[in-house]
Structure 1
Amino acid sequence: MLLLRHHPASLHRRVRLHCLAMSSAASVSSPPDSSAAADYHCRTKHSLTAGYARGPGRLDWATQPNPFLRFSPPSLIPLSNPPPVGAGIPYPSLFHSPPPPPQPLTVDSLSALLFHSLALSAWKSAGVSTWSLRVNPSSGNLHPSETHLLFEDPREPGRLVVCHYAPLDHLLEVRSAAPHCDFSALLPPPATAVLALSSIFWRESWKYGERALRYCNHDVGHALATVAVAAAALGWDVRLLDGLSHEDLGCLVGADKGAPSSPEGLPEKMARGRAPWVERQHPDCALLLFPAGSEPKVDYGAISAALRGFDGLQWVGKANALSKDHVVWDVIYRTAEAVKKHGPAPGESFSVSPWQRSAALSDRLYKELTVQEVVRRRRSAVDMDGVHVMGRETFYQILLHCLPSGDVSPEERQGPQSALPFRVLPWDAEVHAALFVHRVSGLPKGLYFLVRNEEHFDTLRRAMRQAFEWERPEGCPDGLPLYRLMKGDCQQLAMQISCFQDIASHGCFSLGMIARFDPVLCEKGEWMYPRLFWETGVLGQVLYLEAHAVGISATGIGCYFDDAVHEVLGLKDLEFQSLYHFTVGAPVLDKRIMSLPAYPGPGIDA
């Protein structure tokens, strides 16, 4: 049943009827028996009729996890305060020009990298409550992601150190050190450092229950993008070392060093009670940092062998306890085990895509802000005014920055990820965007679709409603694969499928990120499941930065009725799935909340 073609006077009534009709969609998707990833994904869908995915029901504030992991007693590397935030390069030039000359790797440059990617951005205070914000966004501001660095010790050249980043105090905790040796296998020239990310699932599951694994991987994607952007501002490139196994990554971050002991077997059911092991880190991924324009010769076998030797190193520090009590959501840990990657895929090798700039309509569409200002001013809007109208050129410019291949020639198609920050990912784009356009001047309200990998175009058209228009909107740039599917006011629909949240309808536009799903898991393996969410997080971070760079805001939406979204688009199976929602518009600021500086000292912003 199509709804947006009807006369506006009857539209809202028909939207409501359509959403009621969609309530049967919860049973549309059923997982194949052999796929743990698909089973988890279907199990954790929100449904209009069957209800929400299993969660705690209420927040137990007494057991809220500490958002800051520390190791005691630590050996510390203090990080200097970076230059004032106003210093830096103009935001558009980072995407529209070649990268600046690379800076050498020093304590100061590492400090700048972390300060503009994974550090605190401000403290907020309202009444008796005070909480911190970070440069990298997180679902519910819970921050399951932890950061680790491997680099040559600036205090003792020739020795490698493994450090944990402590954002609360903006410093590095030295966990271990490798003896003086040839470390070219771990840091193949001209690479300068490895940055690894891990997740503590308990921080998210405390609030979100079984669906938390999705949100942890959203956060990994956001963190990947923040590191890629901050590194590019220093003249560095970053690329996933995606041929490393889960065991290799565990050795790199010292997952079992100074951490609570693991259970002998995976849990078979949900349980409440003291379970310190749920505070352990789950290794996610590692990034190689190197000067832009170069291509290190990576040997995954040599890196893996070197990392396995880390088990014999002396590791310093015991992790602080994060909660006094816990809830074990068994399906999270069983699924995380099932989707581990155990080494390079057949034929997989490390390569670096040629640097590709993003297409530009006009730099005048952006505010006069530096990259550093934009990344540290980023906030998640909690409400939008429902009034602000975005210019059509601004809308197109934002979407141009969402293209993975950047500004390609007419003979090329979008797919390979070579534009910033998508170039951090080694696979071709698998995620598209279904857009609900509410308030964009010169553009009819309605449902639109951004095809981010044009190899999927024919498959998408076959999978979606046959009555969709697939028309290029007026004034759309030639290199932007954007299509109008149908006209009509879809504000109420956008709100209803996003768990009835008004913020999805009060912005200028909202969207659902649609990933090629079952074919990817079948073609490559279940280890791609978290990576699909990483890609949505990278795309979401671009939307955050673009919104703030043009003077408005954005918010990621993790709560939506999965199969209701699919029903709107006409998707009937697991070939494509919605993995993340977003909304962009003018924020409503709460004047009761006071902003405080992230760190004490001169020249540090709030």
Structure 2
Amino acid sequence: MRFSSLNPRYYQFLPSTSVIPTLTSISKFNKRLSGTPSMSFSSPSSFSPPSSSANSKEAVDDQGLLQVLKYHNQTKHSFTKYARGPHGLDWANQPNPFRRYDSAPLLPLLHFPIDNETVSLSTIDAPLYSSLFLSLPPPKPISKSTISQFFYDSLALSAWKTTGFSTWSLRVNPSSGNLHPTEAYIISPPIESVSDSPFVAHYAPKEHSLELRTKIPSEFFPRFFPHGSFLVGLSSIFWREAWKYGERAFRYCNHDVGHAIAAVTMAAAGLGWDVKLLDGLGYEDLKKIMGLQIFPEFEIPSRAVKGKIPEIEFEHPDCVLLVFPNGIGEFDVNYKELSSSISEFSKLEWKGKPNFLSKEHICWDIIYRTAEVVKKPLTLVHRLLVDPFQRSGLYGEDSYKGFTTRQVVRKRRSAVDMDGVTEIERDVFYQILSHCLPSGCEPREKQKRQLALPFRTLAWDAEVHAALFVHRVAGLPQGLYFLLRNENHLDELKKAMNTDFVWAKPEGCPDDLPLYELFRTDCRRLSKQLSCHQDIASDGCFSLGMLARFQPCLREKGVWMYPRLFWETGVLGQVLYLEAHAVGVSATGIGCFFDDPVHQCLGLKGSNFQSLYHFTIGGPVVDKRIMSLPAYPGPSIDA
């Protein structure tokens, strides 16, 4: 995600006295949106405070919603000020990007070829990328080889980069600022040549190895899950992001959880495995099943503080994913009994001591207060409905370059700059967007339920849409467009957004693609201004802002949906990354944008809809000063 560590100037967000020119300079359309030239964008979106309630649970929920809204509004960037963060980068205390559990047994995994000259395109362990959206291959059994492939194609290193005196690694799963707050765990039945008993292990990407944390009871998997299943746990180290981004880091950590969920889902799909979020589990269950009770309790300070605070290097448990052979239908998951069984994990013998990441720290207290109120409780449901796999639209194989899944996921890169010249064809644009739809292309099926790859992993109906700034799509007029990912929201969106929008079907747009033209205009300068004045937002083929149904979702489902909305944007972002590489261009996630000016551009008021993540796709500019090195050069070389 934008930007690399070579560009620290983009992260030193200091308030500027020079306010951006008003949108009136873009076009008459933008003049109508911007209002008076003296308009200020420094104040946060308004929101409706929850009404007081005598019911204690409702009162707790109200306080949680107020805290989430406070965090979200406080961490918005505006034309006159940025969200609070460090005034410079303390390179001496940059967190170690690799967590290790000292003294835990290290179990090396296998490595695999990437390119066609060493693996046939027809080989089942490297199916064509585009084929996975049509159907999944037959499931492979769990083995050391398949587990190795799974991690190699999802969370492993993808390359090392070097220039001058700097060397840094890249990973298959993208991360904000390449800081990688996300850690991963596997909870698995016995695997030959790995462990002769069920176990919990931490994945160490630098070594492409598993660190054995503990062994678990043999009856755990047969009691709760289908044969051939295992679990993947994801957690976040907030400090890794906060070192660079300050208070906004909680947003970015949850983007990265979404990227990791999609990366895991795509790698599993290549092996014929399906993935579902076990979202009935609560925060305490997640903490125990990953062995994260090893970290000391963290006492949140009353304000932001600086010093030696090693407690903030703890891992916040985010989610657990069930990976299982595709084709299995509905099956029982008794969350009450599962939670009771997981509670016994705290009595197991856990191996390894987590390494320290930095000598000194800054604690942005609002991050931890917000993380506290969005902890999800245990949900006592008894069925896990596994919907049949839904294929996505394919409007022409010519859109793709014939890459295997491994070639796409391991060679994906975040572009640092776009060339401002490259165009894509209209049909390619439509093809990319078709894989962004949650429900696939079933005739007469409304876009709503998350049935298609990789969105089917998520446990809720789609809440995120995309407002697109089209710059260089041959055969499509420049302008503002909208991809509707939950068609039940259409009327609400039309009422909430600018009344001048036409909501017209673009020329040549497939019937099953809910894409709308809103307004024709050259919006290159506008998209650049809205994305913190970054050229990368205007120099691509198109850019976009991901718009979530926000406050109504939090009220209806609970404040624990707050991080999940960011997860959904991260999953969508990962699709855009992979699609861009698969069609021969590049992409970059943009976490820095001016929140409320984006909303004003669309005519939105209040907090019913909020922009959570920006993205850009186009022709990348390659920096020839940077040398690429293999991800895993060999056992005798430490890159």
- TM-score category (smaller protein): over 0.9
User: 1:238-269 deviations in whole A, cap 9, x for unaligned?
Assistant: 00000000000000111122x3x223x32211
Q: Distance in 2 between matches of 1:5 and 1:541?
A: 31
SS at match of 1:368: coil
Cα deviation digits, residues 282-301 of structure 1 (max 9, x gap): 00000001001113432211
Q: Contact 2:467 / 2:545 at 8 angstroms: preserved in 1? A: yes
Identity %: 57
Match of 1:37 in 2: 68
1:524 matched to 2:557: yes
| 1:75 pairs with 2:113 | no
Quick one: which of 482, 497, 509 aligns to 2:515?
Answer: 482
Query: Which letter does structure 2 place at the counterpart of 1:229?
Result: M
| Counterparts of residues 145-544 of structure 1 (less than 5 Å) | 145-155=182-192, 159-181=197-219, 183-186=221-224, 188-257=225-294, 259=295, 261-263=296-298, 265-295=299-329, 296-344=331-379, 349-409=383-443, 411-544=444-577
2:152 to 110, 115, 137: 115
The residue identity in structure 1 corresponding to 2:95 is P
Kindly tell me: are residues 27 and 192 of structure 1, through their superposed partners in 2, closer, same or farther at Cα, counting changes over 3 Å?
closer
Distance 1:17 1:427 in 2: 35
Q: Secondary structure of the residue that 1:184 maps to in structure 2?
A: helix
Task: State the distance in 1 between where 2:233 and 2:131 align.
Answer: 28
More deviation, 292-301/276-285: 292-301
Report the Cα distance in structure 1 between the residues aligned to 2:619 and 2:166, rounded to whole angstroms.
26
Question: Deviation string for 1:217-257 (max 9, x for gaps)?
Answer: 00000000000000000000000000000000000111122
Separation in structure 1 between the aligned mates of residue 473 and residue 114 of structure 2, nearest angstrom? 35
In 2, Cα distance between equivalents of 1:221 and 1:215: 10
What is the aligned partner in structure 2 of residue 566 from structure 1? Answer: 599
Alpha-carbon distance in 1 for matches of 2:364, 2:263: 29
d(CA) in 1 for partners of 2:565 and 2:164? 40
C-alpha distance 108-268 of structure 1, shift in aligned 2 (>3 A)? same
Q: 1:372 to 1:4 in 2, by over 3 A?
A: farther
Cα deviation for residue 82 of structure 1 reads 2.4
Matched residue SS, 1:256: helix
What is the alpha-carbon distance in structure 1 between the residues aligned to residue 305 and residue 25 of structure 2? 52
Normalised by the length of structure 2, the TM-score is 0.89
Change (3 A) 1:223 1:157: closer
Q: In the superposition, relative to structure 1, how do residues 16 and 422 fare at CA in structure 2: closer, same or farther (>3 Å)? A: closer
Q: Show CA shifts across 1:151-188 (max 9, x none).
A: 023248772100000000000000011244453235x1
Distance in 2, Cα, partners of 1:22 & 1:587: 35
SS in 2 for 1:212: helix
- Cα separation, partners in 2 of 1:501 and 1:11, compared to 1, 3 Å: farther
Aligned partners of 1:16 and 1:535: how far apart in 2? 28
Q: Which residue of 1 aligns with 2:56?
A: none
- Report the AA paired with residue 482 of structure 1: L
Q: Which amino acid counterpart does residue 315 of structure 1 have in structure 2?
A: W
Structure 1 stretches of at least 4 aligned residues deviating more than 4 Å after TM superposition: 3-8, 10-22, 155-158
**What letter corresponds to residue 61 of structure 1 in structure 2?**
W
In structure 2, distance between residues paired with 1:162 and 1:28: 44
Partner of 2:3: none
Change (3 A) 1:19 1:501: farther
1:26 aligns with 2:64: no
Residue type of the alignment partner of 1:208: Y
Q: Distance in 2 between matches of 1:573 and 1:7?
A: 25
| 8 Å CA contact 2:23, 2:30 repeated in 1 | no
Count of equivalent residues: 593
1:587-606 alignment to 2 at 5 Å? Answer: 587-601=620-634
Cα distance in 2 for partners of 1:393, 1:426 equals: 31
Q: What letter matches 1:586 in structure 2?
A: G
1 CA distance for matches of 2:304 and 2:590? 26
* 8 A contact 2:33–2:603 mirrored in 1: no
Question: Are 2:23 and 2:31, in contact at CA under 8 Å, matched by a contact in 1?
Answer: no
Report the alpha carbon displacement of residue 7 of structure 1 after superposing the two structures with TM. 11
Aligned AA (1:358): S
CA contact under 8 A between 1:243 and 1:349: conserved in structure 2? no
Q: Distance in 2 between matches of 1:151 and 1:19?
A: 60
Structure 1 equivalent of residue 127 of structure 2: 89
**Consecutive unaligned residues in structure 1, runs of 5 or more:** none
What is the distance in 1 between the residues matched to 2:22 and 2:91? 43
- 1:552 matched to 2:585? The reply is yes
SS in 2 for 1:285: strand
2:461 partner amino acid: D
Confirm or deny: 8 A CA contact 2:547 2:611 kept in the other structure: yes
SS in 2 for 1:58: coil
Offset of residue 425 of structure 1 = 0.4
For normalisation by structure 1, the TM-score amounts to 0.94
Shift of residue 13 of structure 1? 9.6
Asked if 1 retains the 8 angstrom alpha-carbon contact of 2:439 and 2:445, the reply is: no
| 1:206 counterpart SS class | helix
Q: In the alignment, is the contact (CA less than 8 A) between 1:185 and 1:299 conserved in 2?
A: no
Distance in 2 between residues matched to 1:556 and 1:290, nearest whole Å: 30
**Aligned-partner SS, 2:581:** helix
Which deviations, in whole Å up to 9, do the C-alpha atoms of 1:304-332 show, x marking residues without a partner?
11110000000000011000001111000
Which deviates more from structure 2 when the two are superposed, residues 414-423 or residues 82-91? 82-91
Q: Deviations over 1:75-114 (max 9, x none)?
A: 1221011244433111111112x21010100111011000
Structure 1 Cα separation of the partners of residues 481 and 74 of structure 2 = 29
Contact 2:524 2:538 in 1 (8 A): yes
Task: Provide the rounded CA distance (Å) in 1 between the counterparts of 2:49 and 2:164.
Answer: 50
In 2, Cα distance between equivalents of 1:568 and 1:364: 35
8 Å CA contact retained: 1:243, 1:348: no
Distance 1:561 1:21, change over 3 A: farther
Whole-angstrom CA distance in 1 between matches of 2:172 and 2:203: 14
Q: CA RMSD in A?
A: 2.3
8 Å contact from structure 1 (residues 353, 417) kept in 2:
no
CA distance in 2, matches of 1:433, 1:476: 16
The code of the aligned residue for 1:336 comes to A
Q: Distance in 2 between matches of 1:157 and 1:373?
A: 30
